[in-house]
Chain A
């Protein structure tokens, strides 16, 4: 049954300038409303803090994808379904496509957006680890202007973001990993990519642990490596110390893998909650690292 529903106002501007102006005049008053897949859950649970919503779905500038030699840039309103269908993303950013494919269900993927996943700021969200691995950048837009921030620096703490009340996330930029030749795929440059979401079932489950990793292998050695996890800390985390250690290793011996797993444990801070325990999460995170590294040298 539906809980008490506050009355609310909804505005659906079609011009970006109008939306930004509204946010500028009454910052914090108007909550952006994208696909609504997070907000509708709150609405229906009677837990919505806001009563005024700015429907951003009709803002054309926040939709669509753009490719240049250096970057692939996605509108914040890009849905999971769109991500999975995009050929360049499939070839060059497969972890993002994998994340999109295991998010919720088909219906949720049709409506849920990357911008909403980021701004909802859940540490258990599934696309952020992929975005961290790919060194994503966010364009934040307000009537004051635009700024780009590194996604790795965007989440400041549990549900805390480098996002002002008058700002919208406009676009997500993914730097391409090498000069792009037609048909280029990171795999042909020795990149090995790994994504694993551990949950209770494969659809509609919130992650207990989510792991995204990419390693560039050269003659059995790690030339470059990126590791990010979800659900193991107050925010999604990129594991720089583990990466640094692995980059310096000559060979991926069992001892080196074990050492990396120990370092990883120090970089995460999982908790006990109704979905899982801290102990389980730490152990699984370490095991996933082991599996990732094992699959990279194979």
Chain B
């Protein structure tokens, strides 16, 4: 099979970068053995983080937070334990139930399945940032009025998944709403109310927000 060029990035062909690998290694703040690996000539690009705490910056609900976390800390733990944003819940802690759903750059993401350190440079939206203090976002209002919760533990996750979906698909059918929220589980079995709430919220959000 023929060898082909990499998609060139700033004109760097594979051949070119293979030639330069010996010379142009850049390394930044490094620790442990990795420091020796990425020897010298620092341009602060490659940070080996950990195993100890590292300073990170997160953008959450429009605010900038500086904190120190170990690289193994998930975004969910950082939000809940460090930033006191406990709206995103921890249930399965492994990407199965959706209670921890937040928006990352406008897309639904499981906060339990993303490292906090890897969430840097992205806009994170949690349920706390959905509407100004004391107000209900139309999606939350639709959940209330359609009896879309019983214990309510799953609700923040559903609301955020719903927000991510409606932002891109303002006119869903019930079947589409069902599929869009397939990654969120409710032990109280409020799915019928949730589906009604999604359609209601879509209607409420027409023309704004």
Contact = CB atoms under 8 A, between A and B. Distances in A.
A81 interface: yes
Q: Bin the interface of chain B by size.
A: 35 or more
A156 interface: no
B182 A106 contact: yes
Interface stretch (A107-115, A222-230, A238-246): A107-115
B165 A21 contact: no
A1 B91 CA distance: 8
Nearest to B5: A146
Nearest to B47: A12
B151 interface: no
B3 A8 contact: no
Contact of B180 (A14, A43, A45, A106): A106
Given A106-B165, A106-B183, A2 B49 contact: no
A96 to B, nearest CB: 18
By CB atoms of chain B within 10 A, which of A20, A104, A105, A107 has the most? Answer: A107
Nearest to B52: A7
B94 A44 contact: yes
A18 B25 contact: yes
Interface stretch (A55-63, A179-187, A213-221, A284-292): A55-63
A36 B46 contact: no
B114 interface: yes
A22 B37 contact: yes
A10 B115 contact: yes
B72 A5 contact: yes
Given A10-B115, A22-B37, A106-B108, A41 B95 contact: yes
B4 to A, nearest CB: 8
A143 B17 CA distance: 9
A262 interface: no
The 8 closest A-B pairs by CB, nearest first: A105-B183, A203-B182, A7-B51, A10-B71, A40-B113, A148-B1, A9-B50, A17-B21
Interface in B7-59: 7, 9, 14, 17-18, 20-21, 24-27, 31-34, 37-38, 45-51
Interface string A1-38: 11001111111111111101110011000000000110
Interface of B: 1, 3, 6-7, 9, 14, 17-18, 20-21, 24-27, 31-34, 37-38, 45-51, 70-72, 74, 93-96, 98, 101, 104, 107-110, 112-115, 117-118, 161, 164-165, 179-180, 182-184
Contacts of A75: 7
Contact of A107 (B6, B7, B14, B109): B109
A120 interface: no
Nearest to B182: A203
Given A36-B113, A104-B95, A146-B3, 19 more contacts: A9-B31, A9-B32, A10-B118, A14-B45, A15-B45, A15-B46, A17-B18, A17-B24, A40-B94, A40-B112, A40-B114, A40-B115, A41-B95, A52-B34, A53-B71, A61-B9, A64-B7, A107-B108, A107-B183
Given A36-B114, A106-B161, A137-B1, A21 B25 contact: yes
7 contacts: A9-B50, A15-B45, A17-B17, A40-B112, A52-B34, A146-B6, A203-B182
